[in-house]
Chains A and B, each alone.
Chain A
Amino acid sequence: MSGGAMKHVLPVLTVVAAIIALWYAAAVGLNRAWVYDQAERAGVAPASGMALIAETWSQERPVLPAPHQVAVELVKTTFGMAPSSKRSLVYHGWVTLSATLLGFAIGTGLGILLAVGILHNRAMDMSVMPWAIASQTIPILAIAPMIIVVLNSVGLQGLVPKAIISAYLSFFPVVVGMVKGLRSPDQMQLDLLKTYNASNTEAFWKLRLPASMPYLFTSLKVGMAASLVGAIVGELPTGAVAGLGARLLSGSYYGQTVQIWAALFAAAIVAAGMVMLIGVMERRTLKRMGMAR
């Protein structure tokens, strides 16, 4: 087992190391111009060799911050501040995450309900399904700012509008995946239940719903990622108030590149954490149901 794990860990580590090395090299290349510029203004010879490299990796507003600068900012704003402080990434991350989770829960719940409706009503299936599938090719995210502003004019602010966007984005993947999953039992299995004289409801609870679980979890992962993007984009139009999207926006207003990268990595960590959490739930559920692959 450990040999098998090593077989995968080593290549991944190599690739990650290569990315970081490339990143450091790019930081030197991109930030060099500023060092030369400063030296020329000060009227001294520009630094060269190691001194130049050291300078490109420690600027306050670099074009591309070096990885360790981002890591330092990330740690400082995560652990170095009270979680209630407006400069703390935990505060902003939670603002975004709470909207994401609320929207995700609403979107998933409604999505499963609609999928059940589609399964049992042929007219609904034929009317709604083509639109649900087509809607996945449409850049729905474009309406996010409008939803925020319209709800704002009705008096809704803060968490709820963002959650609605998140719900909307996670809704369609769940509908499509869940309909597929609920239809995945084949005719033999359905016929077997019929010979047991099972009603439609029993067939739903005992066969269709369990059979749909792998599909559900796959859509949940897609939906979660979409929800988070929705919540981040939903924070843009209100101006930089709170949340990871607001950190990105205020960073781009004031040229605080280190802050942008830190917010970006915080968003990545939150997304990866959530998807991993769903992955763990998936493995546990499928294992208990005897469907683990």
Chain B
Amino acid sequence: MNWLVVALGAWAFGWWINTRLARSSLARTRGGKLAVPVIFGLTVLLLWEGLVRGLNVSPVILPPPSDVVARLASSVPTLWEDFVQTAVKGALSGYFIGCAAAFATAILIDRSPFLQRGLLPVGNFVAALPIVGIAPIMVMWFGFDWQSKAAVVVVMVFFPMLVNTVAGLKASDHMQRDLMATWSASYWQSLFKLRLPAAMPFVFNGLKIASTLALIGAIVAEFFGSPTRGMGFRINASIGQLALDMIWAEIVVAAIAGSAFYGIVAMIEKRVTFWHPSQRT
């Protein structure tokens, strides 16, 4: 009963602080903008902990966050092994191959409006499909290990990346291209000096979309068969043992990996496209 009171009290207190913070002049400072969501996150965690303990929720339904943290701390080697298997070997290698292939394809079809008009609708169509469904086929073709996961990721990231790059290559406007022509720039010169830099915001948009797809693809593909390591495998195996704290620990790792991956891409974007209006502050 005490836990319930603590939980609801923490919730009320957190909400009160946030309301005050949001109304105060602090809300416009950087610290205030950071503090409010952090306080909100902490109150959610406290509420969760308190409700689970106060209502005696069984740990096979919802483990309290403290259990998850304890599990996270006690099984670092396992989690690291899973992370390397799924995120580094499966997702990252597939991400690089898929994005590079899509980028190369976009440059290849750049000179042919016919191919562009043909490939773009097909690419847009495929990008909206539930592509994770090819996972069982890839597992059959490339075996249980990370190669099949990378293959799923390649297919998943290819079309969003292709569509964005092709759109990006059209981003430079006519005046700019005419200017390059008056300097008698060759196709490749104008590509490297004008059109590719102008395409970068679009390319990075594609890279960001692909970064979230990559991890999803690698994890879901493991549900269809994997060696005895990997995040998807661990989630599936822990369900059988009803070890929910382990699953939540994997989810925490996946969340950190996903946001870090996205964050790194966004950081590179900031460096590369510093000139774009959306990056100026």
Given contacts A139-B215, A233-B223, A249-B224, contact A12 B118 (CB under 8 A): yes
* 8 Å CB contact of B133 from A7, A128, A134, A232: A232
Is the CB–CB distance between B136 and A252 below 8 Å?
Answer: yes
Residues of B within 8 A of A143 (CB): 247, 251
Interface residue range, chain B: 35 or more
Instruction: List 4 additional contacts besides A139-B212, A268-B129; criterion CB under 8 Å.
Output: A12-B121, A127-B37, A138-B255, A145-B223
Tell me if A126 is interfacial: C-beta within 8 Å of chain B. yes
Interface residue ranges of A244-258 to B (CB < 8 Å): 244, 248-249, 251-252, 255, 257
Is the CB–CB distance between A137 and B137 below 8 Å?
Answer: no
Is the CB–CB distance between A271 and B117 below 8 Å?
Answer: no
Residues of B within 8 A of A138 (CB): 212, 254-255, 258-259
B residues near A (Cβ < 8 Å) are 15, 18-19, 21-23, 27, 33, 36-37, 39-41, 60-62, 114-119, 121-122, 125, 128-130, 132-137, 139-141, 211-212, 215-216, 219-220, 223-225, 231-232, 235-236, 239, 242, 244, 247, 250-251, 254-255, 258-259, 261-263
Residues of B within 8 A of A15 (CB): 115, 118-119, 122
* 8 Å CB contact of B36 from A19, A127, A146, A255: A127
Is the CB–CB distance between A126 and B18 below 8 Å?
Answer: yes
Is the CB–CB distance between A131 and B224 below 8 Å?
Answer: no
Residues of A within 8 A of B215 (CB): 139
Interface string of A120-131 (1 = CB under 8 A from B): 001101111111
* 8 Å CB contact of A12 from B122, B132, B263: B122
Residues of A within 8 A of B15 (CB): 123
Given contacts A15-B122, A137-B262, A264-B134, contact A127 B216 (CB under 8 A): no
> When chains A and B are docked, how far (Å) is the Cα of A267 from the Cα of B130?
7
Residues of A within 8 A of B119 (CB): 11, 15
> When chains A and B are docked, how far (Å) is the Cα of A272 from the Cα of B124?
11
Residues of A within 8 A of B242 (CB): 149, 153
Is the CB–CB distance between B244 and A260 below 8 Å?
Answer: no
Shortest distance from the beta carbon of B219 to any chain A beta carbon, whole Å: 5
Is the CB–CB distance between B117 and A11 below 8 Å?
Answer: yes
Is the CB–CB distance between B223 and A16 below 8 Å?
Answer: no
B interface majority secondary structure = helix
Residues of A within 8 A of B60 (CB): 150, 153
Q: Choose among B223, B247, B254 the residue with the greatest number of A CB atoms under 10 Å from its CB.
A: B223
Shortest distance from the beta carbon of B128 to any chain A beta carbon, whole Å: 5
A residues near B (Cβ < 8 Å) are 7-8, 10-16, 19, 63, 122-123, 125-131, 134, 136-139, 141-143, 145-146, 149-150, 153-154, 221, 225, 228-229, 232-233, 236-237, 244, 248-249, 251-252, 255, 257, 260-261, 263-264, 267-268, 271-272, 275
24 A-B residue pairs with Cβ-Cβ distance under 8 Å, sorted by A, are: A11-B119, A12-B121, A16-B122, A127-B18, A127-B39, A128-B37, A129-B37, A134-B259, A137-B261, A138-B254, A142-B231, A145-B239, A149-B239, A153-B61, A153-B242, A233-B223, A237-B239, A248-B135, A248-B136, A252-B224, A260-B137, A264-B133, A267-B133, A268-B129
Residues of B within 8 A of A123 (CB): 15, 18-19, 21-23, 36
Tell me the nearest residue of chain B to A255, going by C-beta.
B140
Residues of B within 8 A of A8 (CB): 117, 121
